[in-house]
């Protein structure tokens, strides 16, 4: 039986096993997908990661055919893969590992999974709120599809990972307000937790001004509506949460896990039934 899993910390909330096991069952594949919680120390790649406990050695010890990697291990997964393919090289973070002839091949399916959600919309410009790992994936795929992309983040330390983009912080709000964007994409977890249920990724008046000039709003967070999407809905924008992106990235990973044997359209139709 082939074994797959998702590596993360925390990981108990992950819906990935539901999606992948549903596919394996529907296709009659002898395969199982589980969750593995790794110590957070594995998020740092040491010079001896191939010999000492790490994501790399855990993958081999469990004799996995493939794995997904989530917070906080996506960057270490990039550093520890034997080979990286596709847009992941630009992003610098991976969410998928596949074993090929005992080598770990790394991919990023978050980027394409996001783009599949918006590719039919007429979009020429985008503002990304947040400058973390998922913002980098979204920015790279928008840029590679010729969409003018700017970044806003509450702090500037992460802007060094966005050298090819125009970035705004709280000091540059005035210039940000002179711009307009077809889509505003929230990649921050603001408002996700019940203790901060009203929290927006930036000041409500400023965000309202930006959204009023936009047509679409997208939130990577999935599950329950965030204050960001509630505000965008109130202002009459077309909105989407992260559920479809989650399904798309899982389906693209499964296509890689089954080496193209399962076709993307079939995988998507099985996975859409689950969530």
Residues in the site for ligand NDP, rule: CB under 6 A? 71, 110, 130-135, 153-155, 158, 187-190, 192, 199, 201, 220-222, 242, 245-246, 249
The answer to whether 263 is a known catalytic residue is no
Residue 164, SS3 per DSSP:
coil
Q: Which of 15, 50, 74, 103 is catalytic?
A: 74
Task: Give least dist CB 260 to ligand NDP, A.
Answer: 22
| Residue 245 to residue 249: CA distance in whole angstroms | 6
Q: Which residue is nearest to ligand NDP (CB)?
A: 132
Q: Which is nearer to ligand NDP, 112 or 153 (CB)?
A: 153
Instruction: Closer to ligand NDP by CB, 110 or 255: give it.
Output: 110
CA-CA distance, 226 to 186, in Å (whole number)? Answer: 10
CB of 51 to ligand NDP, least distance (A): 29
The CA-CA-CA angle for residues 189, 195, 199, to 5°, reads 50
Nearer to ligand NDP, 29 or 191 (CB): 191
Burial class (CB in 10 A: 0-12, 13-18, 19+), 108: buried
Q: Is 55 exposed, middle or buried (0-12, 13-18, 19+ CB in 10 A)?
A: buried
**Pick 29 or 106: Cβ nearer ligand NDP:** 106
> Known catalytic residues?
74
């Amino acid at each position: 039986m082939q074994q797959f899993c998702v590596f993360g910390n925390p990981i108990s909330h992950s819906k990935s096993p539901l999606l992948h096991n549903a596919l394996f069952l529907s296709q009659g594949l002898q395969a199982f997908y589980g969750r593995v919680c790794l110590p957070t120390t594995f998020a740092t790649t040491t010079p001896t990661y191939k010999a000492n406990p790490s994501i790399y050695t855990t993958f081999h010890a469990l004799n996995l055919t493939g794995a997904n990697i989530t917070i906080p291990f996506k960057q270490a997964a990039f550093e520890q893969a034997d080979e990286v393919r596709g847009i992941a090289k630009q992003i610098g973070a991976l969410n998928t590992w596949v074993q090929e002839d005992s080598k770990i091949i790394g991919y990023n399916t978050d980027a394409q999974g996001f783009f599949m959600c918006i590719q039919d919309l007429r979009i020429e410009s985008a503002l990304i709120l947040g400058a973390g790992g998922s913002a980098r994936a979204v920015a790279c795929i928008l840029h590679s599809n010729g969409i003018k992309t700017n970044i806003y983040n509450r702090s500037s330390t992460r802007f060094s990972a966005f050298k090819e983009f125009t970035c705004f912080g709280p000091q540059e709000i005035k210039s940000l307000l002179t711009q307009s964007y077809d889509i505003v994409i929230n990649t921050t977890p603001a408002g996700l937790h019940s203790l901060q249920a009203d929290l927006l990724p930036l000041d409500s008046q400023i965000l309202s001004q930006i959204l009023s000039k936009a047509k679409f709003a997208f939130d990577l967070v999935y599950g329950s509506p965030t204050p960001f999407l509630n505000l965008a809905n109130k202002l009459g924008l077309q909105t989407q949460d992260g559920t479809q992106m989650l399904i798309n990235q899982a389906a693209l990973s499964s296509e890689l896990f089954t080496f193209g044997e399962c076709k993307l359209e079939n995988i998507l139709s099985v996975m859409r039934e689950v969530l």
